[in-house]
Amino acid sequence: MSEQIYRYVTTRTDHVVKLQLYAGRSSVARWFPTFAYVAIVALSWVSAWLFYVRQGEKNNLYIASAMLALLLTLSLPWLYRRYQDSFLSSLLTDDNLRGLVGPIELTINDQAIVEVGPLSTARARWLEVDRVAEEANHIAIWLAPLIVILIPHRAFETGEARHQFLGFIRSRLTAP
């Protein structure tokens, strides 16, 4: 394969995704949402049940408590994702991202992958690439536990070009 060059512009959203990927590699970040969901939902249902046990048939407010528990059960995953996205976005202000957001030039060839950004350059031989993963809107090439080259799908003209790119990268990772 000859050298291929991809040019694209990174955005604030791309860096939010990168933070989410980093958080996903942390065991605390992976288990906390599940733990919090189970704890909050369980406590809300126990509260509704205790309200019924205490008040019995004298008071129908236990129905409202059960409805609140149901609402929490159904909406909490969505609310957590929305909170997480807004929290990460608030961390990444324009001042924090100065020099990180902007034009990127990604060069790949048979020996290495090189990403040149506004203020930094990442270069790795294929032997040094840990893994590659296709995310919802990005391709993540992991060089180390906290070093990732994140390529948005919009960097490719077509879906077929993206699949060829992924095929080449995966072939380099399995090559001797």
Task: Judge contact between 132 and 139, C-beta under 8 A.
Answer: yes
pTM higher than 0.85 for the full model?
A: no
Do 64 and 151 belong to one domain? no
Q: Where does the pLDDT of residue 12 fall: very low under 50, low under 70, confident under 90, or very high at 90 and above?
A: confident
| Average pLDDT, integer, range 84-88 | 79
Give the chain's mean pLDDT: 86
Q: What is the pLDDT of residue 176?
A: 61
Please tell me the number of Cα atoms within 13 Å of 172 on its side-chain side: 23
- 158 and 100 inside one domain: yes
Give the residue from 91, 123, 138 where a domain finishes: 91
Mean pLDDT, rounded, for 63-88? 87
Residue 22 lies in a domain: no
Of the two residues 1 and 103, the one the predictor is more confident about is 103
Task: Decide which of 91, 112, 134 is a domain's last residue.
Answer: 91
- Give the structural domain span for 115: 4-16+95-174
pLDDT at 3 over 70: yes
Same domain for 108 and 156: yes
CA 104 to chain centre: 20
How many structural domains does the chain have?
2
Q: What is the pLDDT of residue 2?
A: 76
Amino acid present at 168? F
**Taking a C-beta distance cutoff of 8 angstroms, is the pair 7, 104 a contact?**
yes
The whole-number pLDDT of residue 141 equals 93
pLDDT for the residue 63: 83
Task: State the pLDDT at residue 154.
Answer: 93
CA distance 49 to 135: 41
